[in-house]
Amino acid sequence: MKYDVPYTGLPQQVAPIKQDLLAAFERVMDSGRYILGPNLARFEEQFARLCGTAFAVGVANGTCALQMVWQALGLGPGDEVITAPNSFVATASSIALTGAKPVFVDIGPDLNLDPARIAAAITPRTRGIVPVHLTGRPARMAEIVRIAEKHGLFVLEDAAQAVGSRLDGRPVGSWGNAAGFSLHPLKNLFAYGDGGVITTPDESLRDKLRQIRNHGLSNRECCEFWSGNNRMDEMQSALLLVHLGALDQWTERRRALAHRYHELLSAMVETPVEGPGEYCVYQTYVIQAAARDDLQIHLQEHGVEALIHYRTPIHLQPAAAQLGYGPGDFPVTERAAGRILSLPLFPAMTYAQQDQVADLIHDFYQQRPERRAEGQAICESTV
């Protein structure tokens, strides 16, 4: 189905820099250097600078970014890692695939891990904490880091959705011992396919991660341990360097559209807000709404592509059954899962398209008095 307002508009977004992208493509093609070359090195240097940290390691995707950190730490059976249940499944699977156990803690009103609930989940087997900067909103990192330091735990930021986000002026990706970023095409900084980055202030961890991404090789002749191929290639690195030059402009446009959505919609639905010291990048613009499923259908039937991230929390996924969780274990997460709706938001979006989305949402509630009352109750409950 072709939408009047698609969820994202990547071709329109990159149109102003298309010639720069094509030139970068040709330079790599003509160079004959396609793996672990100078473009990757430049990208890693610039990405580390963006995140305010010492090192960055470009990898194949955001999932392996998380997995590789746990591999470097030797996480395995008998270990536990605390994280949030309302993320994409890769947050938990990257833990579980080592043989360790993901331990979930409920979220707060910001949809991020609630620091007040973490201490009760810590056991002698806990090795780390994974806060998720969901939707591009920074988690409460100062509190989380204090808890981790008190208990000697590793902090791995899941920053897949949050490149460019800041808390109290400090970029995400620089708060923990390491961070994993995704460069999937739906992310704010995106590759033409998959890509990921790990940031860390630890040089020895950086060196270990470089080996892990390249078969465990210390040089072409020596494999020190078994590992896979998790490299970011030169072509993606070169194109990402072009995107880095546009990222600030894209981010500010996203923020302007997000703030405008708030003005247009806050009387009808619960809209995201920025807390003190937060600089959010709105990788997704997630409202919470009464009659969410009906609203999504209404929008789609009238040409607006609205999505849900994520309908089923991780602890209720079939893959998580062996962890022993069930409905009702994380009530804040589960309540939000029934109300969240991601609206279209992308840098090339026009105000006319945004007005169309807002008008349809207003029409939906105005035509259904009982839902309008529910929506108003939602808004009032969040004041």
pLDDT mean across residues, the chain? 96
pLDDT at 132: 98
How does pLDDT run across 10-21, given as a tens digit for each residue? 999 999 999 999
Backbone angles phi, psi at 99, to 5 degrees: 100, -10
Residue 377 pLDDT greater than 60, yes or no: no
Tell me what the mean pLDDT of segment 304-311 comes to.
Answer: 98
How does pLDDT run across 251-281, given as a tens digit for each residue? 999 999 999 999 999 999 999 999 999 999 9
Task: Assign domain 247-382 to its CATH architecture.
Answer: Alpha-Beta Complex (3.90)
Residue 383 pLDDT greater than 90, yes or no: no
pLDDT at 233: 97
- Dist. CA 369–CA 102, nearest whole Å: 43
Two structure tokens written together for 43: 């990208």
285: β partners: 343
Q: Can you say whether the dihedral through the CA atoms of 358, 361, 367, 370 is positive or negative?
A: negative
In contact, 354 and 257? CB cutoff 8 Å? yes
CB-based burial of residue 366 (10 Å sphere; 0-12 exposed, 13-18 middle, 19+ buried)? exposed
How does pLDDT run across 39-81, given as a tens digit for each residue? 999 999 999 999 999 999 999 999 999 999 999 999 999 999 9
pLDDT at 381: 47
3-class secondary structure, 346 = coil
Three-state SS string over 64-133 comes to HHHHHHHHHHCCCCCCEEEECCCCCCHHHHHHHCCCCEEEECCECCCCCECHHHCHHHCCCCEEEEECEC
Domain range annotation of the chain: 14-105+112-241, 247-382
- Dist. CA 135–CA 272, nearest whole Å: 10
294: β partners: none
Helix (H) / strand (E) element for 143: namely: helix 141-151
pLDDT at 367: 87
Helix (H) / strand (E) element for 154: namely: strand 154-158
- Tell me the pTM: 0.95
Residue 382 pLDDT greater than 60, yes or no: no
Residue 100 pLDDT greater than 80, yes or no: yes
- Dist. CA 104–CA 315, nearest whole Å: 8
pLDDT band at 1 (very low <50, low <70, confident <90, very high): confident
Q: Can you say whether the dihedral through the CA atoms of 267, 272, 274, 275 is positive or negative?
A: positive
pLDDT band at 240 (very low <50, low <70, confident <90, very high): very high
Q: Which amino acid is at 200?
A: T
Peptide bond into 310 cis (omega under 30): yes
Axis crossing angle, helix 351-366 with helix 234-265, rounded to the nearest 10: 50
- Specify the higher pLDDT residue, 324 or 382: 324
Residues 247-285, buried b or exposed e (16+ Cβ, 10 A)?
A: beebbebbbebbeebeebbeebbbbbebeeebbbbbbbb
pLDDT at 368: 76
Helix, strand, coil percentages, rounded to 5, for the chain: 45, 15, 40
57: β partners: 198
Q: Which amino acid is at 111?
A: L
How does pLDDT run across 125-152, given as a tens digit for each residue? 999 999 999 999 999 999 999 999 999 9
Residue 375 pLDDT greater than 70, yes or no: no
pLDDT band at 85 (very low <50, low <70, confident <90, very high): very high
Residue 374 pLDDT greater than 60, yes or no: no
pLDDT band at 371 (very low <50, low <70, confident <90, very high): low
Two structure tokens written together for 208: 């270990």
pLDDT band at 313 (very low <50, low <70, confident <90, very high): very high
In contact, 101 and 121? CB cutoff 8 Å? no
Looking at the chain, the whole-number percentage of residues with pLDDT higher than 70 is 96
pLDDT band at 372 (very low <50, low <70, confident <90, very high): low
Axis crossing angle, helix 292-301 with helix 351-366, rounded to the nearest 10: 130
CATH 3.40.50.2300 fits 14-105+112-241, yes or no: no
Tell me what the mean pLDDT of segment 107-132 comes to.
Answer: 98
155: β partners: 129
Q: How many CA atoms lie less than 13 Å away from 10 in the CB half-sphere?
A: 11
Tell me what the mean pLDDT of segment 339-352 comes to.
Answer: 98
Total residue length of the chain: 383
Tell me what the mean pLDDT of segment 217-239 comes to.
Answer: 97
In contact, 100 and 93? CB cutoff 8 Å? no
